[in-house]
């Protein structure tokens, strides 16, 4: 069984909806076990959560965008992963990431670069989004990758629960892509 863990921070639930969509997509791939690990409000994980991340073949990082960067709670988890960095514990694991912000741009690109950098620091192998932007005339937020990102799903939710359908679709497709790569 291939083990895929999604570790994420969501303050008001929107990033959690993206995490659920990524999980839904990953679960469509046979032989892949998917675990969602929410980061606590104080930025901590339990010992069992850390053990699950250590045991995973693939880790997907997710965080709400806060002030053009990852939420501090996610950053605390990332900083706490430094012990794993030293031991090369996550070396060669498959990695990916996603974020959710209030604005269509929202400086989400900075967050995605940070998540990819975190993965690179651990020596992990980053899986890109792999979806063309919805560039068709009259495209709407109902279409996959309507904001035209390439690192991973970059969702937009200006209010609680108001995640665009296209973002959920993009997240599901990405979850399946990452699970397929991890299984291979």
Ligand X SMILES: Cc1cc2nc3c(=O)[nH]c(=O)nc-3n(C[C@H](O)[C@H](O)[C@H](O)COP(=O)(O)O)c2cc1C
CA distance 18 to 120: 23
Q: Which of 14, 145, 170, 173 binds ligand X (CB under 6 A)?
A: 14
Q: Which is nearer to ligand X, 78 or 182 (CB)?
A: 78
Q: Does 140 interact with ligand X (rule: CB under 6 A)?
A: no
CB-closest chain residue to ligand X: 106
Q: Which of 67, 137, 138, 184 binds ligand X (CB under 6 A)?
A: 67
Q: Which is nearer to ligand X, 1 or 159 (CB)?
A: 159
CA distance 5 to 18: 14
Burial class (CB within 10 angstroms; exposed 0-12, middle 13-18, buried 19+) of 104: middle
Farthest CA pair distance, the chain: 50
Q: Write out the E strands in the chain.
A: 2-9, 32-38, 58-66, 69-70, 94-101, 125-126, 154-156
Q: Does 43 interact with ligand X (rule: CB under 6 A)?
A: no
Range in contact with ligand X (rule: CB under 6 A) among 5-13, 36-44, 118-126, 144-152? 5-13
Q: Crossing angle for the helix pair 14-26 and 165-183, nearest 10 degrees? A: 40
CA distance 179 to 184: 9
Q: Which is nearer to ligand X, 102 or 130 (CB)?
A: 102
Q: Does 15 interact with ligand X (rule: CB under 6 A)?
A: yes
> Minimum distance from CB of 71 to ligand X (Å)?
7
Q: Does 103 interact with ligand X (rule: CB under 6 A)?
A: yes
Q: What residue ranges bind ligand X (CB under 6 A)? A: 10-15, 64-68, 100-103, 106-107, 157
């Amino acid at each position: 069984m291939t083990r895929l863990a999604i570790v994420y921070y969501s303050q008001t639930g929107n990033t959690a909806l993206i995490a659920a969509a990524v999980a839904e997509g990953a679960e469509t791939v046979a032989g892949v076990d998917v675990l969602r690990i929410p980061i606590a409000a104080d930025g901590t994980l339990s010992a069992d959560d850390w053990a699950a991340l250590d045991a995973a073949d693939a880790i997907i990082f997710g965080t709400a965008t806060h002030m053009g960067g990852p939420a501090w709670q996610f950053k605390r988890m990332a900083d706490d992963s430094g012990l794993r960095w030293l031991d090369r514990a996550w070396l060669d694991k498959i990695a990916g990431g996603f974020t959710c912000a209030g604005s269509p741009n929202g400086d989400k690109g900075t967050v995605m670069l940070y998540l990819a950098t975190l993965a690179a620091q651990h020596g992990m192998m980053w899986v890109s989004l792999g979806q063309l932007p919805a560039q068709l005339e009259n495209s709407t937020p109902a279409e996959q990758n309507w904001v035209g990102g390439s690192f991973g799903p970059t969702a937009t939710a200006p209010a609680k629960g108001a995640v665009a359908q296209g973002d959920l679709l993009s997240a599901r497709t990405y979850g399946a892509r990452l699970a397929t790569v991890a299984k291979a």
